[in-house]
Amino acid sequence: MKKILVCNGKGGTGKSTTSILLAGATAESGQVVSIKDIDPQQTSHKWIEKALSDVTHFSQDATPKVIIVDSPPDIKFDQLHEEMLSADLIILVMEPSWINFETAADAAAVIDTLGVSWKTRILFNKVQVGTKMAKNLGEMEDRIGITALKNHLGQRQGYNHFYVYGWSYLSQKESDDVMKLAMEVMFLEPAMNEDIDENTMEVVNG
Ligand SMILES: Nc1ncnc2c1ncn2[C@@H]1O[C@H](COP(=O)(O)OP(=O)(O)OP(=O)(O)O)[C@@H](O)[C@H]1O
Ligand SMILES: [Mg+2]
Q: How confident is the model at residue 194 (pLDDT cuts 50, 70, 90)?
A: low
Distance 155 CA to ligand 1 centre (A): 10
Distance 74 CA to ligand 2 centre (A): 11
- Domain containing residue 148: 2-204
Task: Compute CA distances 19 → 14, 42, 70, 157, whole Å.
Answer: 8, 12, 6, 17
Q: Quick one: which ligand is closest to 125's CA?
A: 1
How many domains does the chain contain in total?
Answer: 1
Question: Helices 98-113 and 137-144, interaxial angle, to 10°?
Answer: 30
Overall average pLDDT of the 18-42 stretch: 96
pLDDT, one tens digit per residue, over 116-174 is 999 999 999 999 988 988 888 999 999 999 999 999 999 999 999 999 999 999 999 99
Tell me the whole-structure pTM to 2 decimals. 0.93
Alpha carbons 18 and 22: distance in angstroms, whole number: 6
The proportion of the chain whose per-residue pLDDT surpasses 70, expressed as a percent, equals 93
Residue nearest to atom 6 of ligand 1 (CA): 160
Alpha carbons 151 and 183: distance in angstroms, whole number: 10
Question: Which long-range contacts link 39-45 to residues 24+ away (Cβ below 8 Å)?
Answer: 39/15, 39/70, 39/71, 39/72, 39/73, 40/72, 41/72, 43/16, 43/70, 44/16, 44/19, 44/20, 44/68, 44/70, 45/70
Alpha carbons 181 and 55: distance in angstroms, whole number: 18
In the DSSP assignment, the letter for residue 149 is P
Range with the lowest mean pLDDT among 4-8, 166-170, 176-180, 181-185?
166-170
**CATH number of the domain enclosing 66:** 3.40.50.300
Collapse the DSSP code of 139 into the 3-class scheme (helix H, G, I; strand E, B; otherwise coil) and give the result: helix
Alpha carbons 115 and 2: distance in angstroms, whole number: 19
Overall average pLDDT of the 62-81 stretch: 95
